[in-house]
Amino acid sequence: MFAICSDLDHAVSLTAYLEFLKYLNTDIDTCYGTGLGLEVSNSCWFYNGENDQQLSYFKGTTTEESTFAPVCRDLWTSGHIDTLHSYGNFNLGGFDRSFAEPALEALTRHGATLPVWVNHGNDQNHQKLGLLPEFQGAKPDKNAYHYDLLKESGTRFFWMGRTTHVAGQDAQFNLSNQVQQQLQKLILATKYRNTERPLPDPENRLLLETTLEDGHEILEFQRFISRFGEVKKTDLFDLALQLSQQNLKALVKSEGFMVLYTHMNENLPQSQPLPLEVSQGFQRLARFAREKSLLVTTSSRLLNYADLTKKLIWKTRIKGGSTEISLTQSDPRPLKVADLQGLTFYCDTPEKTVLFLNDKQITTDVNPTDHTGRGSLSVPWQALEYPF
């Protein structure tokens, strides 16, 4: 399962921002080529505290809406903006709690939730979450404290700086993946042994339960950057390296998850084709998706699925010649059928197996035998509809 998790930095053109999403999410002809028909989300922020042109919901650090605002609202609704890349660009400093309040009020007013939070910027961005001294978003005694508000808004998954060089998290055992993990552990124990910055998870988990300074427990995730350190800027050009045949095949072999770290709008050309190597990378990704080697989706849908599969509890019984699977969960949030999309059970007789949630039968699809030689049953995966 694969998602592109893109930070908004240096997105200067609303036209290019939308054209690129159209290229990724539809089959329509665009200046970047014929649409790929994937499912890819993007991020937003509310403020831009620097004197340059970058997309933000509000103009500068005011609460006056920009031309990006109505676009954000439509993409919030469709699920194609699912990530808050912090409240904004405060690389010059100046963030405090008063900036969080109108931003989250705008989400509430429009019935929107951004499930994913990604830290942004340099050490002057005190809004960041994490345990380093300059990360003050979860420190109640600091002016930048805001996590209590963010929690109430419905944000569930948090990136606080962990990047990994292993292609595939929560991976099945294979020699290549194990070599990558051991190499990464060696580098952590030597090169980064005295580093306090967020480091890759030694257990190669996608999601980690983390406690913030204010005592709240959150789900932290890590993002893939590269296998061998060849990626430096994580901009559009580096996507050619990140979407290599080697990386994608390694992910497929791992049978794991990948959330790719990038700034795909940085250096994005306007009204002209993509660089050839980048175009080839996206075409390669689309081919893996068409062949059903990878399920390509948004950051929030991937993270929700990964969390669901860890917390779901089920029991089975035989009744009248059929197998019944009844679902419950350890998470206190109420589970809805929409949350189960893509959930798959291997079954001896999938055509005679039924799935229940809260005593109500769920519509399922019977899948053909896969590479394991087994049949299975799935809750249908409904593709998002791109609104533009």
Task: Quote the CA–CA distance of 194 and 208 in Å, as a whole number.
Answer: 22
| Pair (174, 297) in one structural domain | yes
| Pair (364, 272) in one structural domain | no
Name the pTM for this structure.
0.96
| Pair (140, 48) in one structural domain | yes
Task: Quote the CA–CA distance of 114 and 103 in Å, as a whole number.
Answer: 11
| Pair (297, 369) in one structural domain | no
The confidence score (pLDDT) of residue 175 equals 85
For the chain, how big is the Rg over CA atoms in Å? 21
| Pair (279, 326) in one structural domain | no
Task: Quote the CA–CA distance of 230 and 318 in Å, as a whole number.
Answer: 53
| Pair (103, 20) in one structural domain | yes
- The reply to whether 254 falls in a domain is yes
Handedness of CA 223, 42, 6, 216 (dihedral sign): negative
Report helix angle 175-190 to 245-254, nearest 10. Answer: 110
| Contacts for 163 with CB less than 8 Å, ≥ 6 apart | 200, 222, 223, 224, 225, 261
Mean pLDDT by 10 residues, the chain (388 residues): 97 97 98 98 97 95 98 98 97 96 98 98 94 94 97 97 95 86 88 84 95 96 92 95 96 97 96 96 98 97 95 92 88 84 95 93 94 94 96
Q: Please give the order of strands across the beta sheet that includes 81-84.
A: 42-44, 81-84, 116-118, 157-159, 217-221, 207-211
| Pair (291, 348) in one structural domain | no
Strand 353-357 to 258-262 pairing: unpaired
The confidence score (pLDDT) of residue 292 equals 93
The confidence score (pLDDT) of residue 174 equals 85
- Please tell me whether residue 25 adopts helix, strand or coil conformation: helix
| Pair (100, 242) in one structural domain | yes
In 3D, which of 242, 240, 239 has the Cα closest to residue 228? 242
| Pair (101, 42) in one structural domain | yes
- The reply to whether 220 falls in a domain is yes
| Pair (331, 295) in one structural domain | no
- The reply to whether 310 falls in a domain is no
Q: Which amino acid is at 56?
A: S
CATH of the domain at 289: 3.20.20
Q: Which domain holds residue 355?
A: 320-378
Considering the chain, what is the average pLDDT of its residues? Answer: 95
The secondary structure of residue 265, as a DSSP letter, is T
Phi, psi of 241, rounded to the nearest 5 degrees: -75, -40
Domain count, the chain: 2
Task: Quote the CA–CA distance of 34 and 36 in Å, as a whole number.
Answer: 6
